[in-house]
Chains A and B, each alone.
Chain A
Amino acid sequence: TQLLEQSPQFLSIQEGENLTVYCNSSSVFSSLQWYRQEPGEGPVLLVTVVTGGEVKKLKRLTFQFGDARKDSSLHITAAQPGDTGLYLCAGATWTNAGKSTFGDGTTLTVKP
């Protein structure tokens, strides 16, 4: 069974602060996705990383895939209230019948 440990589970910060969310596993993934979900809506894809050591930036969000493709991080700079939501990481492998392994999620609240 593949596990993807996501931390922290909850994060409450003030507007303007920086934060990092981590996803760690003992399994190697062919790719890893980060999603953001707002209440009552489906998860929205933020990024897919596929290459070990890859870094992708999306405005104030920086995503990194570990060299061994077992872990990933999401860093948000100068968080804004609009960043509030549930952040999910998901790891995909070729050997898991096409299924992805999801982290338990990080609930981020950014206070104005």
Chain B
Amino acid sequence: GAVVSQHPSWVICKSGTSVKIECRSLDFQATTMFWYRQFPKQSLMLMATSNEGSKATYEQGVEKDKFLINHASLTLSTLTVTSAHPEDSSFYICSARMVRGDTQYFGPGTRLTVL
């Protein structure tokens, strides 16, 4: 149980294009999902908290117009990197938390490379 999927697992795009990453909880409902960014050999950096049916809460320093988050259902959240630039290249990971409980279950991550 508690499986979270992410799609795509990797993506390469040209500078200036937008990329959408999907995060799905496959066997449970998640009122809250989180989006993280991770640099090599470092811990997770929280970007934003996504709540179903409401606006996402962004961490300080994260541009909400750059990283658009939509949490349209209890099993799906999407992160869109708009007008991507090479510095946006990174490993993006989502997590989902069950309606009850505070354990986060992570997706497998998406490797974004912007050329």
Q: Are the C-beta atoms of B109 and A40 separated by less than 8 Å?
A: yes
* Contact surface of B with A, Cβ cutoff 8 Å: 2, 4, 6, 32, 34, 41-44, 46, 49, 57, 91, 93, 95, 97, 102-109, 111
Residues of A1-52 whose CB lies within 8 A of B? 30-31, 33, 35, 40-45, 48
Q: A30-B102, A45-B105 are in contact. List 20 more A-B contacts (CB 8 A).
A: A33-B104, A35-B106, A40-B91, A40-B109, A40-B111, A42-B107, A44-B106, A88-B44, A92-B104, A93-B102, A94-B102, A97-B57, A98-B32, A98-B97, A99-B34, A99-B46, A100-B102, A102-B43, A102-B46, A104-B42
B6 smallest CB distance to A (angstroms): 7
Whether A98 contacts B102 in the complex (CB less than 8 A), given A42-B93, A88-B43, A104-B43, comes out as yes
In the complex, the number of residue pairs spanning A and B with C-beta atoms less than 8 Å apart equals 57
B38 smallest CB distance to A (angstroms): 9
Q: Provide the residues of chain B in CB contact with A31, threshold 8 Å.
A: 102-103
Residue A80 interfacial (CB < 8 Å) = no
Q: A68 to B86: give the CA distance in the assembly, Å.
A: 45
A106 smallest CB distance to B (angstroms): 10
Q: Are the C-beta atoms of B32 and A42 separated by less than 8 Å?
A: no
| Closest Cβ neighbor of B10 among chain A residues | A40
